[in-house]
Amino acid sequence: MECSDSTSSQGHHVNGKRNQVQTIDPPGPSIVEMGPRHCPLTFMRRFRGVLCLVIMILTAFLMMVYLSPVTTFLVRLFSLHYSRKSTCFLFGMWLAMWPFLFEKINKTRFVFSGESVPAKERVLLFANHRTEVDWMYLWDFALRKGRLQCIKYILKKSLMKLPVFNWAFHIIEFIPVERKWEIDEAIIRSRLSELKNPKDPLWLAVFPEGTDYTEKKCIKSQEYAAEHGLPVLKNVLLPKTKGFNCCLQVLRSTIDAVYDITIAYKHRPPTFLDNVYGIGPSEVHIHINSIQVSDIPTSEDEVADWLIERFRLKDELLSSFSTLGHFPNEGTEGDLSTTKCLANFVAVVTVTGFLMYLTLFSSMWFKVFVAFSCSFLTLTTCYSIHPQMIGSGSPESIHAKKA
């Protein structure tokens, strides 16, 4: 899941008043160090991981095929608000199985620090992008705040080619981008304008670095920063500012706060398969700063300077983490309820089992419905017929556009 700026020269804001050229330092030790895995990869862990992944894909497929055409398109003909609410409710139920996997099955420890924030209805959050699965760990934070069902991302358009999941990305209104700013700006503004209704809860997550961190990318980012008189960062990449500024411009009047989130790992950054097999990470540390929208500048140049400064502070925070092994002010969020996680898992699996029975052993009409629904979802995704178009004539959507 990545932010929307394209090339580094287009994405970064360069201010002529920057300091002189700086020296390039090697990447921070906590970033390049690869410590032991959380658990060894045994046959049973591999088997359990494959089983969990099959359950995740199967539940996603059947819930999408049977329920999303009703909540996303049929209900939307009458009420845009309740269509989004019902779609997000189902999405949140499925998504909650991932924190259950991470924390209760894989036994990954989540440590939250920084500010203890209230459950805001509408927020814009931005985070560093250390690895390919950073965006999944935001689900653990959102679940604790009761806002898992309304989290959305700006993501690479290539991810829209993933089977089944591309349907989900489409109907829950994620924003796919080409990473070419001359193309993406209009798309982002158009799609975000559809999410401005204050009645609809929203957690929009962006990763301003635009890609996950590697040592090679860090050196390239440092060279660019030194050449243009920008801060030379060791633990994060220099952020691209255009996409973040665009999100802030469109949503500024309709969000309650901005969350600055910094993510770090012990003892090594995880991959997707590490999560699936439960062999990593041992600990995920998430530091949260809540920022009032009124404290963020309004002009594009000032927002760019502000965001770069926030990433300079992130870099210092991560350097401190590599030395101390933790962020300051830990313990701001408690553990997830095992009972609630287990009850949600049982509910989703039970619904999936019932839908599978209808598909395989019940009337032929259910097989026809599945075929029709798959074709319909594929068509709407391939031709970008997003749900907002379906409900464009409803009274609520007309009111939202006027607002």
Question: Where is average pLDDT lowest: 36-40, 306-310, 387-391?
Answer: 387-391
- Its domain, for residue 231, covers 8-53+107-336
Q: Tell me, what's the pLDDT at 84?
A: 87
Predicted confidence (pLDDT) per residue in 72-102, tens digit: 888 888 888 888 889 999 999 999 999 999 9
**Are 279 and 147 a contacting pair, CB within 8 Å?**
no
Q: Tell me, what's the pLDDT at 28?
A: 57
Percent of the residues in the chain that have a pLDDT greater than 70, as a whole number: 87
The reply to whether 2 falls in a domain is no
Is the pLDDT assigned to residue 239 strictly greater than 70? yes
Q: Tell me, what's the pLDDT at 3?
A: 45
Q: Tell me, what's the pLDDT at 368?
A: 95
The reply to whether 357 falls in a domain is no
Q: Tell me, what's the pLDDT at 383?
A: 80
Q: Tokens for 338? A: 């095992």
The reply to whether 342 falls in a domain is no
The reply to whether 26 falls in a domain is yes
Most confident of 258-262, 381-385, 396-400: 258-262
Predicted confidence (pLDDT) per residue in 186-221, tens digit: 999 999 998 998 888 899 999 999 889 999 999 999
For the entire predicted model, the pTM comes to 0.88
Q: Quickly state the pLDDT bin for 143 (edges 50, 70, 90).
A: very high
Q: Quickly state the pLDDT bin for 387 (edges 50, 70, 90).
A: low
* Three-class secondary structure assignment of the chain: CCCCCCCHHHHCCCCCCCCCCCCCCCCCHHHHCCCCCCCCCCHHHHHHHHHHHHHHHHHHHHHHHHHHHHHHHHHHHCCHHHHHHHHHHHHHHHHCHHHHHHHHHCCCEEEEEECCCCCCCEEEEEECCCCCCHHHHHHHHHHHCCCHHHEEEEEEHHHHHCCCHHHHHHHCCCEEECCCHHHHHHHHHHHHHCCCCCCCCEEEEECCCCCCCCHHHHHHHHHHHHHCCCCCCCCCCCCCCHHHHHHHHHHHHHCCEEEEEEEEEECCCCCHHHHHHCCCCCEEEEEEEEECHHHCCCCHHHHHHHHHHHHHHHHHHHHHHHHHCCCCCECCCCCCCHHHHHHHHHHHHHHHHHHHHHHHHCCHHHHHHHHHHHHHHHHHHHCCCCHHHHCCCCHHHHHHHHC
Give the count of domains, the chain. 1
Residues in CB range of 29: below 8 A, 6 or more apart: 322
Is the pLDDT assigned to residue 231 strictly greater than 80? yes
Overall average pLDDT of the 129-147 stretch: 94
Is the pLDDT assigned to residue 8 strictly greater than 80? no
The reply to whether 240 falls in a domain is yes
The CATH number that applies at residue 301 is 3.40.1130
Q: Tell me, what's the pLDDT at 171?
A: 86
The reply to whether 378 falls in a domain is no
Overall average pLDDT of the 41-64 stretch: 94
The reply to whether 350 falls in a domain is no
Q: Quickly state the pLDDT bin for 40 (edges 50, 70, 90).
A: confident
Q: Tell me, what's the pLDDT at 35?
A: 66
Q: Quickly state the pLDDT bin for 43 (edges 50, 70, 90).
A: very high
